[in-house]
Amino acid sequence: MGAVGESVTLAVDMMSGDQTLATRLKACRHFAATNENVTLLLVGDEATLREGLRRRADDWQVIHAPDVVAMDEHPAKALRHKSDSSLHKALELVRDGQAQACISAGNTGALLAVSRHILGTVSPAIKRPAFIAPLPAEGGGTWMLDLGANLEVSAEQLLQFAQMGSVVATKADEPPPRIGLLNVGSESMKGSKIVQNAAKLLEQSGLNYVGFVEGHDIFTGKVDVVVCDGITGNVALKSAEGAGALFLKKLSEALDKGMFTKIALLAARRALKAAAQEIDPRQFNGASFVGLNGVVIKSHGAADSLAFEVALGYAAKEARAGVPEAIRQLMGES
Protein backbone atom coordinates (compact mmCIF):
# COMPACT_ATOMS: atom_id res chain seq x y z
CA MET A 1 0.00 0.00 0.00
CA GLY A 2 0.91 3.62 -0.27
CA ALA A 3 2.64 3.46 -3.63
CA VAL A 4 3.44 6.88 -5.06
CA GLY A 5 3.90 7.43 -8.76
CA GLU A 6 2.84 9.64 -11.59
CA SER A 7 -0.76 10.75 -11.68
CA VAL A 8 -3.17 8.11 -12.92
CA THR A 9 -6.95 7.82 -13.28
CA LEU A 10 -8.74 4.47 -12.93
CA ALA A 11 -12.27 3.74 -14.18
CA VAL A 12 -13.87 1.31 -11.71
CA ASP A 13 -16.89 -0.76 -12.75
CA MET A 14 -18.80 -0.55 -9.46
CA MET A 15 -21.83 -2.60 -10.45
CA SER A 16 -20.51 -5.93 -11.84
CA GLY A 17 -19.48 -8.95 -9.81
CA ASP A 18 -20.71 -11.27 -7.09
CA GLN A 19 -19.62 -9.10 -4.17
CA THR A 20 -21.78 -6.36 -2.70
CA LEU A 21 -21.40 -2.73 -3.75
CA ALA A 22 -20.35 -2.04 -0.15
CA THR A 23 -17.35 -4.35 -0.60
CA ARG A 24 -16.19 -2.51 -3.70
CA LEU A 25 -16.79 0.87 -2.05
CA LYS A 26 -14.77 -0.16 0.99
CA ALA A 27 -11.87 -1.15 -1.28
CA CYS A 28 -12.06 2.15 -3.19
CA ARG A 29 -12.18 4.21 -0.01
CA HIS A 30 -9.18 2.48 1.52
CA PHE A 31 -7.24 2.54 -1.75
CA ALA A 32 -7.87 6.26 -2.26
CA ALA A 33 -6.86 6.99 1.34
CA THR A 34 -3.55 5.11 1.06
CA ASN A 35 -2.40 5.87 -2.48
CA GLU A 36 -1.29 9.24 -3.76
CA ASN A 37 -1.77 10.62 -7.26
CA VAL A 38 -4.60 8.22 -8.06
CA THR A 39 -8.07 9.35 -9.11
CA LEU A 40 -10.90 6.82 -9.09
CA LEU A 41 -13.88 7.26 -11.40
CA LEU A 42 -16.74 5.24 -9.93
CA VAL A 43 -18.87 3.93 -12.79
CA GLY A 44 -22.44 2.78 -12.13
CA ASP A 45 -25.96 3.84 -11.35
CA GLU A 46 -25.54 7.33 -9.89
CA ALA A 47 -28.38 7.19 -7.36
CA THR A 48 -27.24 3.80 -6.06
CA LEU A 49 -23.63 4.93 -5.79
CA ARG A 50 -24.49 8.22 -4.05
CA GLU A 51 -26.66 6.28 -1.62
CA GLY A 52 -23.78 3.89 -0.94
CA LEU A 53 -21.34 6.77 -0.49
CA ARG A 54 -23.77 8.63 1.82
CA ARG A 55 -22.36 11.72 3.49
CA ARG A 56 -19.07 11.68 1.63
CA ALA A 57 -20.71 11.35 -1.80
CA ASP A 58 -19.47 14.77 -2.93
CA ASP A 59 -15.84 13.71 -2.52
CA TRP A 60 -16.14 11.18 -5.33
CA GLN A 61 -16.40 11.38 -9.11
CA VAL A 62 -19.33 9.26 -10.22
CA ILE A 63 -19.91 8.39 -13.87
CA HIS A 64 -23.51 7.42 -14.45
CA ALA A 65 -24.25 4.07 -16.13
CA PRO A 66 -27.82 2.89 -15.60
CA ASP A 67 -27.42 -0.69 -16.80
CA VAL A 68 -25.47 -3.76 -15.54
CA VAL A 69 -24.15 -6.84 -17.34
CA ALA A 70 -25.33 -9.89 -15.39
CA MET A 71 -22.78 -12.52 -14.35
CA ASP A 72 -24.51 -15.20 -16.44
CA GLU A 73 -25.28 -12.99 -19.44
CA HIS A 74 -24.12 -14.23 -22.81
CA PRO A 75 -21.12 -12.18 -24.01
CA ALA A 76 -22.66 -11.49 -27.45
CA LYS A 77 -25.82 -10.21 -25.81
CA ALA A 78 -23.85 -8.03 -23.40
CA LEU A 79 -21.90 -6.62 -26.32
CA ARG A 80 -24.95 -5.73 -28.40
CA HIS A 81 -27.63 -4.77 -25.89
CA LYS A 82 -25.86 -3.34 -22.86
CA SER A 83 -24.18 -0.22 -24.20
CA ASP A 84 -25.36 1.70 -21.12
CA SER A 85 -23.81 -0.77 -18.72
CA SER A 86 -21.14 0.12 -16.16
CA LEU A 87 -18.75 -2.19 -18.03
CA HIS A 88 -19.22 -0.38 -21.34
CA LYS A 89 -18.93 3.05 -19.75
CA ALA A 90 -15.79 2.18 -17.79
CA LEU A 91 -14.09 0.89 -20.94
CA GLU A 92 -15.18 3.97 -22.91
CA LEU A 93 -13.47 6.17 -20.34
CA VAL A 94 -10.21 4.36 -21.15
CA ARG A 95 -10.82 4.57 -24.89
CA ASP A 96 -11.49 8.31 -24.63
CA GLY A 97 -8.38 8.96 -22.56
CA GLN A 98 -10.28 10.02 -19.44
CA ALA A 99 -8.89 7.05 -17.55
CA GLN A 100 -5.68 5.02 -17.99
CA ALA A 101 -7.11 1.73 -16.80
CA CYS A 102 -10.43 -0.06 -16.22
CA ILE A 103 -11.14 -2.55 -13.39
CA SER A 104 -14.12 -4.88 -13.37
CA ALA A 105 -15.14 -7.89 -11.26
CA GLY A 106 -17.86 -8.79 -13.75
CA ASN A 107 -18.65 -11.52 -16.24
CA THR A 108 -15.35 -12.60 -17.82
CA GLY A 109 -16.80 -13.50 -21.22
CA ALA A 110 -18.55 -10.15 -21.47
CA LEU A 111 -15.41 -8.29 -20.38
CA LEU A 112 -13.42 -10.07 -23.09
CA ALA A 113 -15.96 -9.31 -25.83
CA VAL A 114 -16.77 -5.74 -24.84
CA SER A 115 -13.18 -4.67 -24.16
CA ARG A 116 -11.99 -6.05 -27.49
CA HIS A 117 -14.84 -4.21 -29.20
CA ILE A 118 -14.35 -0.88 -27.45
CA LEU A 119 -10.54 -0.74 -27.14
CA GLY A 120 -9.30 -3.02 -29.91
CA THR A 121 -5.83 -4.52 -29.88
CA VAL A 122 -2.80 -2.30 -29.35
CA SER A 123 -1.16 -3.48 -32.58
CA PRO A 124 -2.59 -5.00 -35.76
CA ALA A 125 0.05 -7.73 -35.35
CA ILE A 126 -1.66 -9.08 -32.22
CA LYS A 127 -3.87 -12.05 -32.99
CA ARG A 128 -5.61 -12.32 -29.62
CA PRO A 129 -5.20 -10.60 -26.24
CA ALA A 130 -4.55 -12.86 -23.24
CA PHE A 131 -5.07 -12.89 -19.49
CA ILE A 132 -1.88 -12.54 -17.47
CA ALA A 133 -1.47 -12.55 -13.70
CA PRO A 134 1.31 -12.99 -11.16
CA LEU A 135 1.34 -16.20 -9.10
CA PRO A 136 3.21 -16.68 -5.84
CA ALA A 137 6.60 -18.34 -6.25
CA GLU A 138 9.89 -18.73 -4.47
CA GLY A 139 11.81 -15.50 -4.69
CA GLY A 140 8.71 -13.41 -5.44
CA GLY A 141 6.27 -14.31 -8.16
CA THR A 142 5.86 -15.81 -11.61
CA TRP A 143 3.78 -14.26 -14.37
CA MET A 144 1.55 -16.68 -16.24
CA LEU A 145 -0.50 -16.34 -19.42
CA ASP A 146 -2.95 -17.17 -20.90
CA LEU A 147 -5.24 -17.82 -17.95
CA GLY A 148 -8.44 -18.48 -19.85
CA ALA A 149 -9.11 -15.96 -22.62
CA ASN A 150 -8.03 -18.31 -25.43
CA LEU A 151 -9.11 -21.93 -25.27
CA GLU A 152 -7.41 -22.98 -28.47
CA VAL A 153 -4.14 -21.39 -29.49
CA SER A 154 -1.63 -21.61 -32.33
CA ALA A 155 2.16 -21.69 -32.01
CA GLU A 156 2.22 -18.06 -33.24
CA GLN A 157 -0.19 -17.04 -30.49
CA LEU A 158 1.99 -18.71 -27.85
CA LEU A 159 4.93 -16.69 -29.19
CA GLN A 160 2.88 -13.50 -28.86
CA PHE A 161 1.87 -14.45 -25.32
CA ALA A 162 5.58 -14.82 -24.54
CA GLN A 163 6.31 -11.40 -26.04
CA MET A 164 3.52 -9.73 -24.08
CA GLY A 165 4.50 -11.58 -20.90
CA SER A 166 8.08 -10.46 -21.34
CA VAL A 167 6.95 -6.82 -21.53
CA VAL A 168 4.83 -7.15 -18.38
CA ALA A 169 7.62 -8.91 -16.44
CA THR A 170 10.42 -6.56 -17.49
CA LYS A 171 12.02 -4.68 -14.60
CA ALA A 172 14.30 -1.70 -15.08
CA ASP A 173 18.00 -2.45 -14.52
CA GLU A 174 17.44 -6.21 -14.48
CA PRO A 175 18.21 -8.90 -17.08
CA PRO A 176 15.37 -9.69 -19.50
CA PRO A 177 12.70 -11.96 -17.96
CA ARG A 178 13.24 -15.71 -18.32
CA ILE A 179 10.44 -17.25 -20.38
CA GLY A 180 9.28 -20.89 -20.00
CA LEU A 181 6.80 -22.78 -22.16
CA LEU A 182 4.46 -24.98 -20.10
CA ASN A 183 4.58 -28.63 -21.16
CA VAL A 184 4.02 -32.15 -19.82
CA GLY A 185 7.77 -32.72 -19.50
CA SER A 186 10.98 -30.75 -19.76
CA GLU A 187 12.62 -32.97 -22.42
CA SER A 188 12.74 -31.36 -25.86
CA MET A 189 10.80 -34.20 -27.55
CA LYS A 190 7.78 -33.82 -25.24
CA GLY A 191 4.42 -32.21 -25.98
CA SER A 192 1.88 -31.50 -28.67
CA LYS A 193 2.78 -30.28 -32.16
CA ILE A 194 1.61 -26.78 -31.25
CA VAL A 195 3.93 -26.61 -28.26
CA GLN A 196 6.78 -28.12 -30.27
CA ASN A 197 6.33 -25.48 -32.97
CA ALA A 198 6.00 -22.69 -30.41
CA ALA A 199 9.33 -23.79 -28.90
CA LYS A 200 11.00 -23.38 -32.30
CA LEU A 201 9.53 -19.88 -32.68
CA LEU A 202 10.63 -18.94 -29.18
CA GLU A 203 14.19 -20.12 -29.79
CA GLN A 204 14.44 -17.64 -32.66
CA SER A 205 12.49 -14.85 -30.97
CA GLY A 206 15.24 -12.91 -29.26
CA LEU A 207 13.38 -13.34 -25.97
CA ASN A 208 15.17 -14.86 -22.98
CA TYR A 209 13.55 -18.25 -23.65
CA VAL A 210 14.82 -21.00 -21.33
CA GLY A 211 12.80 -23.99 -22.59
CA PHE A 212 9.95 -26.20 -21.41
CA VAL A 213 8.74 -26.02 -17.83
CA GLU A 214 6.30 -28.24 -15.94
CA GLY A 215 3.40 -27.47 -13.64
CA HIS A 216 5.48 -27.38 -10.46
CA ASP A 217 7.95 -24.92 -12.01
CA ILE A 218 5.28 -22.19 -11.85
CA PHE A 219 6.03 -21.98 -8.13
CA THR A 220 9.78 -22.53 -7.95
CA GLY A 221 10.95 -19.24 -9.44
CA LYS A 222 12.76 -21.11 -12.24
CA VAL A 223 11.35 -18.64 -14.78
CA ASP A 224 9.72 -15.21 -14.66
CA VAL A 225 6.99 -15.91 -17.23
CA VAL A 226 5.13 -19.17 -17.90
CA VAL A 227 3.42 -19.34 -21.31
CA CYS A 228 0.51 -21.68 -22.07
CA ASP A 229 -2.94 -21.92 -23.66
CA GLY A 230 -5.96 -20.61 -21.78
CA ILE A 231 -7.37 -23.98 -20.75
CA THR A 232 -4.13 -25.25 -19.23
CA GLY A 233 -3.41 -21.93 -17.54
CA ASN A 234 -6.87 -21.64 -16.07
CA VAL A 235 -6.83 -25.18 -14.74
CA ALA A 236 -3.27 -24.88 -13.37
CA LEU A 237 -4.14 -21.68 -11.51
CA LYS A 238 -7.32 -23.09 -9.99
CA SER A 239 -5.69 -26.44 -9.15
CA ALA A 240 -2.95 -24.65 -7.27
CA GLU A 241 -5.54 -22.62 -5.36
CA GLY A 242 -7.50 -25.78 -4.57
CA ALA A 243 -4.41 -27.64 -3.36
CA GLY A 244 -3.40 -24.69 -1.20
CA ALA A 245 -6.86 -24.45 0.35
CA LEU A 246 -6.87 -28.19 1.10
CA PHE A 247 -3.45 -27.98 2.74
CA LEU A 248 -4.53 -25.03 4.87
CA LYS A 249 -7.61 -26.94 5.98
CA LYS A 250 -5.70 -30.13 6.82
CA LEU A 251 -3.19 -28.12 8.78
CA SER A 252 -5.87 -26.35 10.74
CA GLU A 253 -7.50 -29.72 11.49
CA ALA A 254 -4.17 -31.17 12.62
CA LEU A 255 -3.76 -28.24 15.01
CA ASP A 256 -7.27 -28.75 16.37
CA LYS A 257 -6.71 -32.47 16.87
CA GLY A 258 -3.24 -32.21 18.38
CA MET A 259 -2.68 -32.06 22.11
CA PHE A 260 -0.95 -28.72 22.28
CA THR A 261 -0.58 -26.14 24.99
CA LYS A 262 -2.32 -22.84 24.37
CA ILE A 263 0.96 -21.09 23.72
CA ALA A 264 2.10 -23.71 21.21
CA LEU A 265 -1.22 -23.50 19.40
CA LEU A 266 -0.96 -19.73 19.25
CA ALA A 267 2.56 -19.89 17.85
CA ALA A 268 1.60 -22.43 15.23
CA ARG A 269 -1.47 -20.47 14.17
CA ARG A 270 0.57 -17.29 13.90
CA ALA A 271 3.15 -18.99 11.64
CA LEU A 272 0.38 -20.54 9.58
CA LYS A 273 -1.23 -17.15 9.10
CA ALA A 274 2.06 -15.54 8.09
CA ALA A 275 2.78 -18.25 5.55
CA ALA A 276 -0.76 -18.27 4.20
CA GLN A 277 -0.65 -14.50 3.73
CA GLU A 278 2.43 -14.72 1.55
CA ILE A 279 0.65 -17.00 -0.90
CA ASP A 280 -2.91 -15.77 -0.26
CA PRO A 281 -4.78 -15.78 -3.60
CA ARG A 282 -6.33 -12.45 -2.51
CA GLN A 283 -2.87 -10.88 -2.58
CA PHE A 284 -2.62 -11.95 -6.20
CA ASN A 285 -6.14 -10.91 -7.28
CA GLY A 286 -6.50 -9.38 -10.70
CA ALA A 287 -5.61 -10.58 -14.17
CA SER A 288 -4.60 -8.11 -16.83
CA PHE A 289 -6.09 -8.52 -20.29
CA VAL A 290 -2.91 -7.74 -22.25
CA GLY A 291 -2.73 -6.92 -25.93
CA LEU A 292 -5.58 -4.40 -25.80
CA ASN A 293 -5.18 -0.71 -26.53
CA GLY A 294 -5.55 0.14 -22.85
CA VAL A 295 -5.13 -1.42 -19.42
CA VAL A 296 -8.03 -3.70 -18.42
CA ILE A 297 -7.89 -5.57 -15.11
CA LYS A 298 -10.31 -8.37 -14.29
CA SER A 299 -10.86 -8.88 -10.57
CA HIS A 300 -12.16 -12.19 -9.22
CA GLY A 301 -15.97 -11.92 -9.20
CA ALA A 302 -16.18 -12.82 -5.52
CA ALA A 303 -13.17 -10.75 -4.42
CA ASP A 304 -13.43 -9.30 -0.93
CA SER A 305 -12.43 -5.68 -0.30
CA LEU A 306 -8.76 -6.55 0.29
CA ALA A 307 -8.60 -8.52 -2.98
CA PHE A 308 -10.45 -5.81 -4.92
CA GLU A 309 -8.00 -3.25 -3.57
CA VAL A 310 -5.11 -5.41 -4.80
CA ALA A 311 -6.68 -5.32 -8.27
CA LEU A 312 -6.91 -1.51 -8.10
CA GLY A 313 -3.22 -1.33 -7.22
CA TYR A 314 -2.39 -3.67 -10.08
CA ALA A 315 -4.31 -1.42 -12.50
CA ALA A 316 -2.43 1.68 -11.34
CA LYS A 317 0.91 -0.11 -11.69
CA GLU A 318 0.24 -1.33 -15.25
CA ALA A 319 -1.08 2.07 -16.30
CA ARG A 320 2.03 3.80 -14.93
CA ALA A 321 4.30 1.24 -16.59
CA GLY A 322 2.65 1.95 -19.95
CA VAL A 323 2.26 -1.74 -20.74
CA PRO A 324 0.05 -1.33 -23.86
CA GLU A 325 2.50 1.11 -25.47
CA ALA A 326 5.49 -1.12 -24.68
CA ILE A 327 3.69 -4.08 -26.29
CA ARG A 328 2.87 -1.99 -29.35
CA GLN A 329 6.53 -1.07 -29.72
CA LEU A 330 7.73 -4.67 -29.35
CA MET A 331 5.16 -5.90 -31.86
CA GLY A 332 6.15 -3.20 -34.32
CA GLU A 333 9.75 -4.40 -34.13
CA SER A 334 9.06 -8.12 -34.49
Binding segment toward a copy of itself, per CB under 8 A, in 28-36, 55-63, 119-127, 257-265: 257-265
Residue 280 as a binder of a copy of itself (CB under 8 A): the answer is no
Nearest CB to a copy of itself, comparing residues 62 and 236 = 236
- Write the interaction track for a copy of itself spanning residues 22-61; mark x where CB under 8 A is met and - where it is not: ----------------------------------------
Judged by CB under 8 A, does residue 265 bind a copy of itself?
yes
| Residue from the set 51, 187, 203, 325 that interacts with a copy of itself by CB under 8 A | 187
Burial class (CB in 10 A: 0-12, 13-18, 19+), 137: buried
Residue 48 or 260: the one with the smaller Cβ distance to a copy of itself is 260
In angstroms, what is the C-alpha Rg of the chain? 21
Query: b/e per residue, 176-214, with b = 16+ CB within 10 A?
Result: ebbbbbbbeeeeeeebeebbbbbbebbeebebbbbbbbb
x/- contact string, 73-112, with a copy of itself (CB under 8 A)? -x---------------------------------x----
Backbone φ and ψ for 307, nearest 5 degrees, come out as: -65, -40
- Which range, of 5-13, 156-164, 224-232, 284-292, touches a copy of itself by CB under 8 A? 224-232
Q: How far is CA 318 from the centre of its chain?
A: 10
Mark residue 71 as left, alpha or beta (left: phi above 0; alpha: psi -120 to 50; beta: remaining).
alpha
Contacts of 63 (CB under 8 A, 6+ apart): 11, 41, 42, 43, 44, 89, 90, 93
Nearest distance in Å: CB 68, a copy of itself: 18
The nearest distance, CB 104 to a copy of itself, in angstroms, is 17
For the chain, report the end-to-end CA distance as a whole number of angstroms: 37
Cα 286–Cα 37–Cα 298 angle in degrees, nearest 5: 15
What is the rounded distance in angstroms from the CA atom of residue 219 to the CA atom of residue 213? 11
Contact between 241 and a copy of itself (CB under 8 A)? yes
Residue whose CB is less far from a copy of itself, 82 or 320: 82
Map the footprint of a copy of itself across residues 120-149, applying CB under 8 A.
136-138, 148
- To the nearest 5 percent, what fractions of the chain are helix, strand and coil? 50, 20, 30
Residues that bind a copy of itself (CB under 8 A): 72, 74, 108, 136-138, 148, 151-152, 182, 184-185, 187, 189, 191-192, 214-220, 228, 230-232, 234-251, 253-255, 257-258, 260-261, 263-268, 270-272, 274-276, 278-279
